[in-house]
Amino acid sequence: MAAFNKISSTYKPVAEYYAGKSLFITGGTGFLGKVLIEKLLYSCKDIDKIYILVRNKNNIEVNKRMNQMLNNPLFTRLKQNKADCLTKLIPIVGDITERNLGMTPADERLLIEKVSVVFHSAATVQFNDRLPEAVRVNVEGTKNIIDFCHKLKNIDMLVHISTVYANCDRKIIEEIVYPPPVDFTELNTSIQTVSCDEKTTTNILGNKPNTYTFTKAIAESLIEKEHGKIPTVIIRPSIVGPIKNDPYPGWLDNWFGGTSLFWYTSIGLLRILPGSADGVVDIIPVDYVCNLMIVAAAKCQSSKLLHVYNSCTSECNPVTMNELTKLVLQEKNNKYFAYPKVHFTTSKNMMMLLSFVLETIPAYVGDVWLWITGRKMRLVKLHSIMNNHREKLEYFTSNYWQARCNNTKSLIVSLSDADRKTFCCDSTDINWKEYIQTYLVGIRKYLLRSSD
């Protein structure tokens, strides 16, 4: 951003807002949640406590899950430089889908007295979850969080993490809450009285492509309707990519979003994508999303209005599918096939034909060569996995949106130079060539555990 407003002499630094405060975080063991926790502990050193809601998952008790999380390389900087801050992180056994969040009465009383800022990022992000499950987690879970916030004696701010694709039935997405696809009460009645088979679910979803975007849209409207006098912020990221800046550029811990497609492109396996070469891809680094969450909470706490911030690049710093795939292919990698190139088509028939000719046949030929040379055959299996990922993302590679970011721009302009540097969330400063390099290095280092 070229110009910045003059900062007032009464300006309060972001970290100062959090001094002495206790925070409550849901979804803290997830991708975005871990980055948020690390950043808060490292850059807001005077935080009192961070309470993190954790389920006993897969018969793994909470303390063990916390140890597993803190053993992640993401927390190395914190352990080396500010290890004492880790004592501020306190797990609370619970579940957003349960009454009173599934907490013990003692834990609930503690949080009611102590917590003043709530970050709600827990959600099911699977596109193909059954509708009742998606509603239970993304909608009823959000309702439970709102009810909990109304109990807090010192509630100062609620930050709800949504997604820009909650509004994917609109080509231009403003920083406002749109009318819900259905009323929450009507939806509950529907899923309780009808069988949610595929046909029924499709009818209920309407213009939404999947249960994830559908339920996130309803959750937004629920926040708008029931936040009351609680200062509230909705953060809407687009496709969330690995860390760009700190603590470790390239860090990521999952194959979600476009990560798998980037990797298959980089090794020459992916040769065809549904969509247009000129279509804009909206990717935002995870540290930018978390920094925006932290900043928005600090700067909006005095307002009872609901604030919405899109954390996106499609308007501020757009990059096309063609540009992105070319950048991926420029990177040196152990490609399985020579002369890789990605083609784009909006025709399903052409998609099937090109995939068979350019991907399936070479995968079989490649596996034969691997077998002849005494190596493990894996290309056909990889192609099958890749095809599954591509089909799941087809709606998002075939459609394009422009997410407005005027509120986000204004928020960034209001920050001091020091806060803009510490809590970087200005998407205009992303150099796509450098970020794609970082992205692929991160995949090799953190997902494939490669030492090169």
> Domain with 162 in it: what CATH number?
3.40.50.720
Is 237 inside a domain boundary? Answer: yes
H-helix or E-strand containing 159? strand 157-161
- Mean predicted confidence (pLDDT) in 146-152: 97
For residue 225, the model assigns a pLDDT of: 94
**Comparing 264-268, 317-321, 400-404, 412-416, which segment has the lowest mean pLDDT?**
264-268
pLDDT digits (tens, 9 = 90+) for 23-82: 999 999 999 999 999 999 999 999 999 999 998 776 678 888 899 999 999 999 999 999
Six-digit token string for 202: 């499709």
**Comparing 128-132, 227-231, 344-348, 404-408, which segment has the lowest mean pLDDT?**
128-132
Is 61 inside a domain boundary? Answer: yes
- Whether 3 has a pLDDT exceeding 50, the answer reads no
3-state helix, strand, coil in the chain (%, to 5): 50, 15, 35
For residue 7, the model assigns a pLDDT of: 61
What value, to the nearest 5°, has the Cα angle with vertex 332 and ends 319 and 75? 75
Cα torsion 238, 244, 246, 250: sign? positive
Six-digit token string for 188: 């509950």
Length of the chain: 452
Q: Are 246 and 288 in contact (CB under 8 A)?
A: no
For residue 362, whether the previous peptide bond is cis, meaning omega lies within 30 degrees of 0, is no
For residue 4, the model assigns a pLDDT of: 43
Q: Are 67 and 446 in contact (CB under 8 A)?
A: no
Q: For 6-151, where are the alpha helices, taking DSSP H only?
A: 14-18, 31-43, 62-70, 76-81, 105-114, 131-134, 141-151
| Neighbouring residues of 169: CB distance < 8 A, sequence distance ≥ 6 | 181, 206, 207, 208
Is 345 inside a domain boundary? Answer: no
| Number of domain units in the chain | 1
Closest to 100 in 3D by CA, of 145, 133, 49 = 145
Six-digit token string for 184: 């929450």
- Mean predicted confidence (pLDDT) in 186-196: 72
Cα torsion 71, 73, 74, 76: sign? positive
H-helix or E-strand containing 308? strand 306-311
DSSP state of 169: T
Stronger pLDDT, 335 or 407, i.e. the higher one: 407
For residue 227, the model assigns a pLDDT of: 94
Is 126 inside a domain boundary? Answer: yes
User: 363 by DSSP, 3-state: which?
Assistant: helix
pLDDT digits (tens, 9 = 90+) for 418-428: 999 999 999 99
- Mean predicted confidence (pLDDT) in 405-416: 96
Cα torsion 129, 135, 139, 140: sign? negative
H-helix or E-strand containing 160? strand 157-161
* DSSP codes of every residue in 207-245: T-SSHHHHHHHHHHHHHHHH-TTS-EEEEEE-EEE--SS
Long-range contacts of range 3-9, CB-CB < 8 Å, 24 or more positions apart? 3/413, 4/413, 4/417, 4/420, 5/413, 5/414, 7/414, 7/415, 7/416
Is 23 inside a domain boundary? Answer: yes
Q: Are 261 and 390 in contact (CB under 8 A)?
A: yes
For residue 326, the model assigns a pLDDT of: 94
Six-digit token string for 339: 């002369």
Closest to 141 in 3D by CA, of 51, 37, 215, 52 = 215
Q: Are 27 and 240 in contact (CB under 8 A)?
A: no
User: 272 by DSSP, 3-state: which?
Assistant: strand
Q: Are 48 and 20 in contact (CB under 8 A)?
A: yes
Residue % of the chain over a pLDDT of 90? 80
- Mean predicted confidence (pLDDT) in 179-194: 80
pTM for this model (two decimals): 0.93
- Whether 239 has a pLDDT exceeding 60, the answer reads yes
For residue 334, the model assigns a pLDDT of: 62
pLDDT digits (tens, 9 = 90+) for 275-307: 999 999 999 999 999 999 999 999 987 777 899
Identify the band that residue 92 occupies on the pLDDT scale cut at 50, 70 and 90: very high
Identify the band that residue 126 occupies on the pLDDT scale cut at 50, 70 and 90: confident
Terminus-to-terminus CA distance in the chain, angstroms?
Answer: 36
Is 372 inside a domain boundary? Answer: no
pLDDT digits (tens, 9 = 90+) for 11-29: 899 999 999 999 999 999 9
What is the Cα–Cα distance from 119 to 131, expressed in whole angstroms?
Answer: 24
Cα torsion 256, 25, 140, 233: sign? negative
Is 219 inside a domain boundary? Answer: yes
Q: Residue 419 is part of which domain span? A: 14-244+283-317+401-430
- Whether 6 has a pLDDT exceeding 70, the answer reads no
Is 33 inside a domain boundary? Answer: yes
Mean pLDDT of the chain, nearest integer = 92
Six-digit token string for 90: 């306190």
- Mean predicted confidence (pLDDT) in 312-338: 87
Identify the band that residue 451 occupies on the pLDDT scale cut at 50, 70 and 90: low
